[in-house]
Amino acid sequence: MLCRRYRVYALIRNPAQLSAWRTAGALPIAGDLDDLHSLRRLAGLADLVLHLAPPPNQGAGDPRTRKLLAALGRGKSLPQRIVYVSTSGIYGDCQGAWVDETRSPHPATPRGQRRLDAEMQLRAFGRHTGVKVTILRAPGIYAAGRLPVERLQKGLPALTVEDDVFTNHIHAEDLAAACVLALHRGAANRTYNACDDSEMKMGEYFDRVAAAFELPSPPRLSRAEAERVLSPMQLSFMRESRRLSNRRLKEELRLHLAYPLVDDGIRAALQERKEACS
C-alpha cells in the first residue's frame, strides 16, 4: 500500500527478517529500539513515521518510544508526522459504556499504563517540536490467522452472559488502511478509536468463531469461577468492558471499513481457508 507511493524504510531488529521486507518493497534498516546507538541512522531519514512497536513487557513506562524520539530529534530535519498505534486499553474499565476519544484515560493494567506513557511522550514531542502526532487507539486486532481458533480447540472458558464484558475489534487490513489515512489526514495531537462497527460481548465473539469453524462453543463460567482457573493475562481482558465509538475515525480520517463487522472478517477467513484447501 505505502510502497507503491513512497520509499518505505522498515526498522528491523531480527536480521532474519531483512529479506522478507526487501521482497515486500521496503528498505530495511537494522536497529533495535532497546539500543539507542543502533538508531543513529533514523535521524532526518523520513518525513512520515509510523510507530507500531509495543512497549516492553515490564516497567512503568515505555523506554522504546523515548529512544525513538531521541533518535528522530537528532536530525537536522524532523519528520512532518508521526502516527502511533496505541491501545484502547488506556481507557480502563468503562463498565460497558460507550467511549469516545474525549474520555480521560484510566488504564487499569501495567500494559495500559505503558501505552499511555508512550502517548504522553509523543504528545509532548509534538508540542515541543511542531511535528504532527496522531494516535490510533486499537482494540483487539484480528485477521484470518488471528482468530481465537486455538483457544476454542483448547476448550478455554468464557464468562457467563451476566458477567461478560463488551469487547471491540478491528481487522488488520482496516487498521493498516487507518494508518495510511492518518499519515495524510490525522490532525496534530489528535486521537482516533480505530475499531469497527461491531457491538458484542466477548463470549458472543467466541461463539461466532466457533460456529463458523465448526468448533464447540466455549464453556461459560461465572467471574468467580474464572478467577480460579484462568491465568492473570487471560483474566485481564475479562475485567474491562467498553464500547468504542469510531465516529471520528470515519468522519475525520474518512476510513471506509472493508470489514465493518466481525462477521465480515470471519466470512473472509473461511473463504481464504477454502481457497487454500482447494
DSSP single-letter state for residue 187: P
Domain boundaries, the chain: 31-277
Radius of gyration of the chain (CA): 20
- Closest by CA position to 171, among listed 275, 237, 264, 53: 264
Between strands 200-201 and 166-167, the pairing is: antiparallel
Which three cell numbers mark 153? 480447540
Per-residue pLDDT of 23-44, as tens digits, reads 989 999 999 999 999 999 999 9
pLDDT at 163 over 80: yes
pLDDT at 71 over 80: yes
Rounded-to-integer distance, Cα 137 and Cα 59, Å: 21
Residue whose grid cell is 459504556: 97
Transcribe 64-104 into DSSP letters. HHHHHHHHHTTSSS--SEEEEEEEGGGG---TT-EE-TTSP
Per-residue pLDDT of 185-231, as tens digits, reads 999 999 999 999 999 999 999 999 999 999 999 999 999 998 888 88
pLDDT at site 231: 84
Q: Model's pTM, two decimal places?
A: 0.94
Report domain 31-277's class.
alpha beta
Which three cell numbers mark 62? 515505555
- pLDDT-wise least confident of 119-123, 230-234, 263-267: 230-234
pLDDT at 4 over 90: no
- Closest by CA position to 164, among listed 130, 207, 123: 207
Transcribe 192-237 into DSSP letters. EE---S--EEHHHHHHHHHHHTT-PPPPEE-HHHHHHHS-HHHHHT
